[in-house]
Amino acid sequence: MKQYFDQVEKYFQDKKHDFVTRCMVCGNKNHPEFMLSHAPKLKSCLNCGFTWSYKQPTEEVLNKFYTQSVAMDTWAEIKQTKAEHKRQMSKYKWGYKYIKKHKINNVFDYGCGDGFFLDHLKVDKKKGYELKDKVTPGNYVECITMWGVLEHLKNPAESMRLFGLNNYPDYFIICVPNIDSLVAQILGSKCCTFCPQHLWFFNIETLTKFMSKFGYDLDTWTTIEPETQPIIKQLSKMPPYVRLGNMKLKHPWINDKEILKNKLGYKIIAAFKERKTNGEQTD
């Protein structure tokens, strides 16, 4: 993982960038800058509280990163490891349970990566699930899932509007890094969420406000990945992501259970339902 992040840092060094001065969620321009040590400058909206990197790589730079960089080759190898498969499955189980509970028969996974989520949805449910690999006008889906996608999109609002070409789905299931997570609060700029390819930083309140613009209300949510070990290492004056083999550090009050109980995990998973009060979406 260290090799991957070193490659990411090297790729984005001195690359072209844009400046984003308007809040994506509410459109406000009244926001202060703040700096996390050794991290890109961020903007925080005084109106709605949304936070973003205002110095962002250009779309061309990002496209080349995702399609041609050595870092993404390394990331593809990491995704195939047993440890990563285990982590991914623990994340996706929440989505599988929600889909089953609501009897959703039609799922489109936007930005599906290696297809792990859809492959195991098919295996787990056997029948009754139509798995989409693309959305075109007239190709309606009941649920769109986005696992670690929204924070990477150069224009998330435009992507949401494109989904409306097919009639908006009944449900969205979205997973994004949680800027209110304990690991982000303790590690600050050392937290791996503050990497150059992450453009937008949500908590549950700002994610809910963003989805509300398109006619969706929050149904249920949780957090995952407590990241207890990096937190304890940081508090112990150690590099937070240093490898210690099989050794696990302990802390008198910081543990996986307490972090997740208080919804302070590294990532948010949230399900949104289409608002039925009227037939129009807003943006």
Q: How would you write 94-139 as a 3-class SS string?
A: HHHHHHHHCCCCEEEECCCCCCHHHHHHHHHHCCCCEEECCCCCCC
Angle CA 96–227–13, to nearest 5? 100
Q: How far apart are CA 132 and CA 111, in angstroms?
A: 12
Query: Is 58 inside a domain boundary?
Result: no
Specify the pLDDT at position 89: 86
Angle CA 172–175–181, to nearest 5? 135
Query: Is 213 inside a domain boundary?
Result: yes
Specify the pLDDT at position 31: 65
The secondary structure of residue 251, as a DSSP letter, is -
- The segments of the chain whose pLDDT lies below 70 read 31-40, 122-139, 165-166, 277-283
Specify the pLDDT at position 167: 75
Return the bridge partners of 178, or none. Answer: 202
Specify the pLDDT at position 196: 92
Query: Is 259 inside a domain boundary?
Result: yes
Domain count, the chain: 1
Tell me the per-residue pLDDT of 140-163, one tens digit each, with 9 for 90 and over: 789 999 999 999 999 999 989 888
| Owning domain of residue 219 | 82-274
Instruction: Give the CA radius of gyration of the chain.
Output: 19
Specify the pLDDT at position 135: 55
Query: Is 281 inside a domain boundary?
Result: no
Phi and psi angles of residue 82, each rounded to the nearest 5 degrees, phi first? -60, -40
Reduce the DSSP state of residue 19 to 3 states and report it.
strand
Reduce the DSSP state of residue 120 to 3 states and report it.
helix
Within 13-120, strands assigned E span: 17-19, 33-35, 41-44, 51-53, 55-57, 106-109
Phi and psi angles of residue 164, each rounded to the nearest 5 degrees, phi first? -70, -10
Q: What is the CATH number of the domain that holds 159?
A: 3.40.50.150
Reduce the DSSP state of residue 131 to 3 states and report it.
strand
Specify the pLDDT at position 137: 52
Query: Is 131 inside a domain boundary?
Result: yes
Query: Considering the entire predicted model, what is its pTM?
Result: 0.89
Residues 6+ apart with CB under 8 A from 165: 135, 136, 137
If we measure between CA atoms, which residue out of 60, 28, 66, 63 comes closest to residue 44? 28
Longest dimension (CA), the chain: 56
Query: Is 93 inside a domain boundary?
Result: yes
Specify the pLDDT at position 132: 59
Query: Is 145 inside a domain boundary?
Result: yes
Specify the pLDDT at position 280: 46
Query: Is 244 inside a domain boundary?
Result: yes
Reduce the DSSP state of residue 214 to 3 states and report it.
coil
In Å, how far are 65, 141, 169 from 216, measured between CA atoms? 32, 15, 10
